[in-house]
Amino acid sequence: MPAAVLFAAALAVLVGAPPPSYFFPVPLRAQTPAAPVSARVFGSPAGLVFNQIKADKVADFELVMARLRTALANNPDPVRKKQGAGWKVYKAAEPYEGSILYVFVIDPAVPGADYTISRILAQMYPAEVQDLYAKFRDAYASGPTMWEVTPVAPPAAARR
């Protein structure tokens, strides 16, 4: 399924019902970031992560996302490189509850790979990770919400 379609479908669901929270115990509308968990691993072929970011912290969040992108691209670990290839970040044009919504589209998800951002940053930037993580953590208006998703095959008639 194309990332744009997955993104649009996820936003439609987001407006209509609260998302399931597989790895983040705090729902999207909560007022505090989620407590750290041991690992962020997708058990499905693809995933979405919704990030509600404070409008005045967009620059900090995007700085960390740029460093994350570089960390994944330059990491000597082939698993990290695969993660980077399938990890896209989208920014919603419209504000959401006074915040800016960013959606991570992970497609394909790397089986068994840990998507914990602080761990990825620590591997490549050990001297900077405390500062980067503080910027990342403080940017959240609400804790992130992770969805595991599976592509749906088109009806048989559409495949002809």
| Pairing state between β 46-54 and 99-106 | antiparallel
Report the topology of domain 3-13+29-151: Alpha-Beta Plaits (3.30.70)
* Non-local CB neighbours of 91 within 8 Å, separated by 6+ positions: 100, 101, 102
| Pairing state between β 99-106 and 140-149 | unpaired
Q: What are the pLDDT digits (tens) for 87-98?
A: 999 999 999 889
Task: Give, in order, the Cα–Cα distances in Å from 8 to each of 2, 48, 90, 112, 120.
Answer: 10, 11, 11, 26, 28
User: In the prediction, which pLDDT does 41 show?
Assistant: 93
Q: What is the DSSP letter of 142?
A: E
pTM of the model as a whole: 0.73
User: In the prediction, which pLDDT does 12 show?
Assistant: 41
Which of 157, 154, 147, 150 has the alpha carbon at shortest distance from 14? 147
Q: What are the pLDDT digits (tens) for 111-160?
A: 999 999 999 999 999 999 999 999 999 999 998 999 999 999 877 766 66
For residue 83, is pLDDT > 50? yes
Helix (H, G, I), strand (E, B) or coil at 9: helix
For residue 14, is pLDDT > 70? no
